[in-house]
Structure 1
């Protein structure tokens, strides 16, 4: 018997072919008032998928309900874990904590399917918990700016796949995206451009707080990145005295030749694709006064534990200067009460702050000597989302590599299973307005006719 499709693959899923739970407009959601966030999330999921707006009831008022969806927090088990039991008579989602309940609700939303004349949830028992606590997705708003509404939609979509951290790439050669009171020229003079001449933009501090709050409501932590000491051409527009002249290598000239645009010039906005040419002045104390202001303010604005300091593709910085800079700035980030995060190249620094977390870019595992550069520090991967729905979906579903049992430890962790389960999400994603790319090799599900309310509540 085929198992219901769930992404990420759960730790344990069992189905015995029993009669499904009939979902109608009269189905109540039974939940205590203190877990209203989970209740509202489920209401929204079901309404988007089916058109049904379910009422909610307090547990004390629901003893006589024959058929109900019950949400509860038990408080025992691994962090972020949940249990989901569906029978013909009831649906019970039991989370160890608020995050676990949220993830159980997301799984339940994936199980809703059309039935003759209505909607149903197949009888199933799921016991689930994450394999890794850090499950990160990246959004680059520096090369192409995205407004707050778009970022919040991205949070909503990726948190449903059980991501826990949103890595915001806030600064790069093409633009500076976060308003800072200590250095106002950064957004006044360095935020108006994007790659290819697209409109720029920036987040006010209220915008940034709104993003953080929205992420927090979905159990996601924002990880802000201020990319240093390279990827800093935008700084030259606001504080040119802190920037070295661009290093125009043959590689930079090739990129300009192949992708168009102009060669970078200090104090001139840059909208090209080349990287690695820019650098702050490593031996100038004014640079570190600037960074104390910038990183200090970003740290104060960000409640999460992480502060990403970049460190990648610094072709315009000598190895000696890079080593000095990374050691000093990683210690600065730590002194601000944050765990420094840096790209894998930072692992070469001899005086790296010991608490620094390393991040491989562009690869699932280290290749071409990246593991040697990363040396011994704790490392995490990243799923780098760019223009957003079409490139991030179905790609973001690969989040199951961080949530689900290891490949080989579960029969669900095969390409064939993954492709089938992702394909089954097509109707849900379509109802949510997710403009995913229907890649070849995935059997995308098509619903001939949407279900209708049974009307027999």
Structure 2
């Protein structure tokens, strides 16, 4: 039997995880069994190239002519550890539908240690690839080795192991994304990949306040992030048009404030159990949830529910338009701070991640010292919950608190106030509106989206450097990069995917890959290979004319993707 083994991390932080896949070359009976499931000519398709991975790995060495092939005898072996076992189960769930292989998951100790297919727990210093590079894989790094006799993934944590699995997935033929069995030769190209992220924070934001999206839609977005090694999902939970999270101490926020959205739709909100489900699903895919409660502006929905928070104590009508800057909670009333304390406390208690985002942008009617005074008090309230405060870069003039993170969304790289906040200790998440805002149109004729920050085609999303983008902010102060998706014109999951893809992988590469690997000409070629993967999985995307998409083959035994899944909407 061939095995794919995944070892667990041990309590000793100096011990690394390992995964090993031990194949045998397919026999005639193996291929005949595949062909019997469905007809097709994918059996002898060449393997994906080792350097086709997105985001680009830090280092790789191809071994031309060497492949590893999954067969009916392949099994997944994992040493005893819950986190590593979850990664192994995830891998099996990814591969079983298309391959039709059983891929049983079992304890690695079940493998005969004297046999040719054994699992070896790696130490802290796996040998470097010959092109150089440290063997320290860190909290998210991994090493993947593919030879004719096995595939081995090594990581120091289950997070690194999970990312190694995402790379392994990309090295299999595009047909692996099929929800039904496909006749294919499930081969991986030979060689070694050593891979670690450039920035610790790599994320995307989904605005569920302008338009509400069901839990299942949010989970689908989590899957897209995990596929490209993005590790944070920022949920914009509150705005003028709707309040989307239940708060026990202020129940009308959700039931009243959540009953509206742009265009006068029905709105909606997440119960605490809904939110926990999103958190748990994201955590299983090594994605940290970052909740945003936007303050002191963008609060019309809260004022509809609780007029006592309004400066004039009069409830405004529900707002279903798209203007900004007109609403705010009363910064002079202590009841406002009771509200902020209660809401942030409940949201923090639901959120295991370290971050709590308080917005802070476009509060045009709260100015000067009144604004900074409100922000400074809100920052202290966040600190009291045990979380680290994150806010849009308009928070910059306020006094610094330990760990404070500013999210910069400007379109002009010179920003003295933000640079000054960084000198006082702030770190930066970089989300330039004219490069990273995924609600911007691709081109003038894009049917949805905005253009206030300009048109953002795939190259514009890719051709910039988060580490040096903001003037007078050193790379060491950049925590990472995030791609926001605002939803004023976005009403469905198909709309979300159309604007995310193919730009999301571009942002992911900026956050993960070393700057030295960034090359538009090569990236567009690598990205092109993902079109058939998305089509096979039924994922909507924009067929950008900048990318040399291959013709999408018909996957035997699978319904072809609808035109709207793969073409201009």
TM-score by length of 2: 0.70
Q: Tell me the equivalent position of 1:44.
A: 93
Secondary structure at 2:401's aligned position in 1? coil
Answering whether residue 469 of structure 2 is matched by residue 361 of structure 1, we say no
Offset at 1:369?
Answer: 5.5
Q: Name which of structure 1's ranges 131-140 and 67-76 shifts more when overlaid on structure 2.
A: 67-76
Q: Name which of structure 1's ranges 95-104 and 31-40 shifts more when overlaid on structure 2.
A: 31-40
Secondary structure at 2:280's aligned position in 1? helix
Unaligned 5+ segments in structure 1 are 247-264, 453-457
Offset at 1:240?
Answer: 1.1
Q: Which residue of the other structure, out of 274, 277, 298, is the alignment partner of 1:231? A: 298
Answering whether residue 52 of structure 2 is matched by residue 5 of structure 1, we say yes
Counterpart-to-counterpart distance in 1, 2:309 and 2:403: 28
Q: Which residue of the other structure, out of 380, 401, 404, is the alignment partner of 2:510? A: 401
Q: Tell me the equivalent position of 1:216.
A: 283
Q: Tell me the equivalent position of 2:530.
A: 425
Q: Which residue of the other structure, out of 64, 68, 76, is the alignment partner of 1:29? A: 76
Deviations 1:302-344 (A, max 9, x none): 1111111110111121222111111111111112211111100
Counterpart-to-counterpart distance in 1, 2:75 and 2:170: 18
Counterpart-to-counterpart distance in 2, 1:120 and 1:128: 21
Answering whether residue 493 of structure 2 is matched by residue 388 of structure 1, we say no
Seen in structure 2, the aligned counterparts of structure 1 residues 6 and 71 have a Cα distance that, compared at 3 Å, is farther
Q: Name which of structure 1's ranges 229-238 and 87-96 shifts more when overlaid on structure 2.
A: 87-96
Counterpart-to-counterpart distance in 2, 1:430 and 1:73: 37
Answering whether residue 271 of structure 2 is matched by residue 204 of structure 1, we say yes
Deviations 1:206-231 (A, max 9, x none): 11111111111111111110000000
Counterpart-to-counterpart distance in 1, 2:269 and 2:174: 43
2:89–2:105 CA contact under 8 A, matched in 1: no
Seen in structure 2, the aligned counterparts of structure 1 residues 239 and 112 have a Cα distance that, compared at 3 Å, is same
Secondary structure at 2:63's aligned position in 1? coil
Q: Tell me the equivalent position of 1:333.
A: 382
Counterpart-to-counterpart distance in 1, 2:504 and 2:91: 21
Seen in structure 2, the aligned counterparts of structure 1 residues 233 and 68 have a Cα distance that, compared at 3 Å, is farther
Seen in structure 2, the aligned counterparts of structure 1 residues 184 and 208 have a Cα distance that, compared at 3 Å, is same
Counterpart-to-counterpart distance in 2, 1:392 and 1:9: 19
Q: Name which of structure 1's ranges 122-131 and 1-10 shifts more when overlaid on structure 2.
A: 1-10
Q: Tell me the equivalent position of 2:371.
A: 322
Counterpart-to-counterpart distance in 2, 1:203 and 1:150: 12
Counterpart-to-counterpart distance in 2, 1:65 and 1:189: 66
1:134–1:165 CA contact under 8 A, matched in 2: yes
Answering whether residue 328 of structure 2 is matched by residue 279 of structure 1, we say yes
Q: Tell me the equivalent position of 2:392.
A: 343
1:169–1:225 CA contact under 8 A, matched in 2: yes
Unaligned 5+ segments in structure 2 are 1-47, 126-135, 176-182, 431-481, 487-494, 558-569
Secondary structure at 1:122's aligned position in 2? strand
Q: Which residue of the other structure, out of 86, 111, 116, is the alignment partner of 2:171? A: 111
- Structure 1 residue runs of 4 or more that deviate by more than 6 Å after TM superposition: 64-73
Seen in structure 2, the aligned counterparts of structure 1 residues 37 and 150 have a Cα distance that, compared at 3 Å, is same
Number of equivalenced pairs: 428
Seen in structure 2, the aligned counterparts of structure 1 residues 239 and 114 have a Cα distance that, compared at 3 Å, is closer
1:73–1:101 CA contact under 8 A, matched in 2: no
RMSD across aligned positions (CA)? 2.7
